[in-house]
Amino acid sequence: MPTTTGYVTTPDGVRLFFQKAGSGRNAVLIPNATYMFDDFKYLATDRVVISYDLRNRGNSDLVTEKSNLERGIHHDVEDLEAIRRHFGFDSVDVIAHSYLGLAAALYAMSYSANVRRLVMIGPAQPAPGKQYPPHLTGADRVMAEVMAELAALQKEGPGDDPDGFGKKMWSVMKQLYVTDPADADKIRWSVSHLPNESLFHVMKHYNENLLPSIQDLKITADDFAKAAMPVLIIQGIRDRQAPYGGAREWACLLPNARLVILENVAHLPWIESPEVVFNSVKTFLDGSWPDAAQQISSVET
């Protein structure tokens, strides 16, 4: 399937790298082209798929101007709107993963008329910092083991082989994203060659800009009510980065949301349960709730 690439310049002058495939009246926007585009471009058989890298990430511009970073997640919300406007679609579907699920939900609240349907995969929880009971999280020994390995590598440093160092870091990090670390090789993409995806760069941006903006969020009942479009949430119960309880909470708080629950699946559900995830997303964007989608009335199971 032919793919076009290029850059969209935001109102504050940051260039966002995009990849685009397909044609049709409907479009789906997917942040994080670096690892989302190839896996989700199957949707381009009957719609336009536009995936892009975030500011200061992937193949988008390295940003050094503080004012272009300090609003954190709110920049991501406005960048979604910049992409939509650039390509000229009145309304779009959005698929977003991890903390971008939170950003996409904020976008749906702020620009509700521009969002047709929203898919949130392993989304960050709606109440930053909230602690869920153990059975609503994927906490296990793997997280501690991986973080210890990463700390040891950081102490060792890249030496004379920064490319090899990046590959080592990525091989350790991706163990977090699957339930069984032995399945990490199912993750086919690599970001180790991209300077904007180095662990130091990503964590610096997250800790200095994104995390403070997320911690300052205060989403009200009125805000949730504005995102009245159909919302499909897909969540692995064993997700270590985004707690299962957070997905259940989203499904309770959003007025028209349903949840696909995946057993023994961690932070990348489409890697460990591709048939369910890809079929559910396609069915949903085609206008129907997938059979696996449940209405949730309580955060507790």
pLDDT in tens, 8-56: 999 999 999 999 999 999 999 999 988 999 999 999 999 999 999 999 9
Report if residue 185 sits inside a domain. yes
The position carrying tokens 């009246």 is: 25
48-52 and 15-21 beta bridge pairing: antiparallel
Say yes or no: 201 and 80 in one domain.
Answer: no
pTM given for the model: 0.95
CA 59 to chain centre: 16
Domain with residue 29: its CATH number is 3.40.50.1820
Q: What are the strands, taking DSSP E only, across the chain? A: 3-9, 15-21, 27-31, 48-52, 92-97, 115-121, 231-236, 257-262
Asked, for residue 50, whether it belongs to a domain, the answer is yes
Question: What are the tens digits of pLDDT across the range 131-173?
Answer: 999 999 998 998 889 889 988 988 888 877 877 887 888 888 8
Long-range interactions of 202-208: CB distance < 8 A, separation 24+: 202/57, 205/56, 205/57, 205/69, 208/69
Q: By C-alpha distance, which of 300, 267, 265 is closest to 292?
A: 265
Asked if residue 221 belongs to a domain, the reply is: yes
Based on the structure, what is the number of domains in the chain? 2
Give the strand pairing for 48-52 and 92-97: unpaired
Q: Could you give the CA distance from residue 54 to residue 34 in angstroms, rounded to a whole number?
A: 9
Q: To 10 degrees, what angle do helices 99-110 and 73-87 make?
A: 60
Residue 300 lies in a domain: no
Quick one: pLDDT at residue 1?
Answer: 74
- Judge whether 290 lies within some domain: no
Tens digit of each residue's pLDDT (9 = 90 or more) over 228-269: 999 999 999 999 999 999 999 999 999 999 999 999 999 999
- Note down the domain range covering 260: 3-137+212-285
Q: Are residues 35 and 182 in the same domain?
A: no
